[in-house]
Amino acid sequence: MQTQTGKHVVIIGCGFGGLEAAKALHHADVNITLIDRSNHHLFQPLLYQVATAGLSAPAIAAPIRHLFRKQANVTTLLGDVVAIDAKAQTITLQSPGTADALVPFDHLIVAAGATHSYFGNDQWEPFAPGLKTLADAMELRKRILFAFEAAEHEPDPALREALLTFAVIGGGPTGVEMAGTMAEIARHTLPGEFRRINPASAKVLLVEGGMRVLQAMPPELSTQALKQLEKLGVKVMLGRKVTDISADAITFSTGEGAASQTHTVACKTVVWAAGVAASPLGRQLAQATGCEVDRAGRVAVDAHLNVPGFPRIWVIGDMASATSTHRGQVRTVPGVSPAAKQMGRCAAANIVRGIQGKAAQAFVYADYGNLATIGRNAAVVDLASPLGQFRFSGYFAWLFWLFAHIYFLIGFRNRFVVLLDWASAYATFARHARVVVGRAGRD
Amino acid sequence: MQTQTGKHVVIIGCGFGGLEAAKALHHADVNITLIDRSNHHLFQPLLYQVATAGLSAPAIAAPIRHLFRKQANVTTLLGDVVAIDAKAQTITLQSPGTADALVPFDHLIVAAGATHSYFGNDQWEPFAPGLKTLADAMELRKRILFAFEAAEHEPDPALREALLTFAVIGGGPTGVEMAGTMAEIARHTLPGEFRRINPASAKVLLVEGGMRVLQAMPPELSTQALKQLEKLGVKVMLGRKVTDISADAITFSTGEGAASQTHTVACKTVVWAAGVAASPLGRQLAQATGCEVDRAGRVAVDAHLNVPGFPRIWVIGDMASATSTHRGQVRTVPGVSPAAKQMGRCAAANIVRGIQGKAAQAFVYADYGNLATIGRNAAVVDLASPLGQFRFSGYFAWLFWLFAHIYFLIGFRNRFVVLLDWASAYATFARHARVVVGRAGRD
**CB A78, CB A39: distance < 8 Å:** yes
Number of H helices, E strands in chain B: 11, 27
| Active site positions of B, annotated | 177
Contact A97 B433 (CB under 8 A): no
Question: Within 13 A of B236's CA, how many CA atoms are on the CB side?
Answer: 25
**CB A310, CB A293: distance < 8 Å:** no
What pLDDT does B421 receive?
Answer: 74
Q: What is the ipTM of this complex?
A: 0.90
- To probe the interface with B, which of A52, A81, A193 has the most B CB atoms within 10 Å? A193
Contact A66 B147 (CB under 8 A): no
- To probe the interface with A, which of B144, B437, B442, B443 has the most A CB atoms within 10 Å? B437
Contact B437 A75 (CB under 8 A): no
What pLDDT does B3 receive?
Answer: 73
Which of B316, B390, B264, B285 lies closest to B20 in space, CA to CA?
A: B316
Q: Report d(CA A130, CA A113) in Å as an integer.
A: 15
Contact A437 B69 (CB under 8 A): no
Mean pLDDT for each consecutive 10-residue tract of chain B (443 residues)?
A: 82 97 96 96 93 90 92 96 95 87 96 93 96 94 95 94 98 96 94 95 97 94 96 96 96 86 96 94 94 95 96 97 89 93 98 95 92 90 84 90 84 72 73 73 42
What pLDDT does B443 receive?
Answer: 37
| List of chain B residues whose C-beta atoms are within 8 Å of the C-beta of residue A41 | none
Residue of chain B with shortest Cα separation from A149: B78
Specify the amino acid at residue B235.
K
In tens, the pLDDT along A325-349 reads 877 889 999 999 999 999 999 999 9
Domains of chain A (ranges; CATH) run: 7-37+79-116+277-355 (3.50.50.60), 122-272 (3.50.50.100)
| List of chain A residues whose C-beta atoms are within 8 Å of the C-beta of residue B192 | 69-70
Separation in Å, CA of B379 to nearest CA in chain A: 27
pLDDT at A122 > cutoff 60: yes
Contact B77 A152 (CB under 8 A): yes
Q: Is the dihedral angle over the CA atoms B401, B404, B406, B409 positive or is it negative?
A: negative
Residue of chain B with shortest Cα separation from A146: B96
b/e for A231-252, b at 16 or more Cβ within 10 A?
ebbbebbbebbbeebeeebbeb
Q: Does an H or E element contain B17, and which?
A: helix B16-24
What pLDDT does B17 receive?
Answer: 97
Q: Report d(CA A175, CA A229) in Å as an integer.
A: 11
Please give the model's pTM, rounded to 2 decimal places: 0.93
| List of chain A residues whose C-beta atoms are within 8 Å of the C-beta of residue B269 | none
Kindly give the residue spans of alpha helices, DSSP state H, lying in B356-410: 395-408
What pLDDT does B442 receive?
Answer: 38
Contact A441 B80 (CB under 8 A): yes
Kindly give the residue spans of alpha helices, DSSP state H, lying in A238-292: 281-289
pLDDT at A15 > cutoff 90: yes
What is the average pLDDT score of chain A? 92
Q: What's the pLDDT band for A442 if we cut at 50, 70, 90?
A: very low
Average pLDDT over residues A135-142: 94
In tens, the pLDDT along A250-263 reads 999 988 778 889 99
In tens, the pLDDT along A237-296 reads 999 999 999 999 999 998 877 888 999 999 999 999 998 899 999 999 999 999 999 999
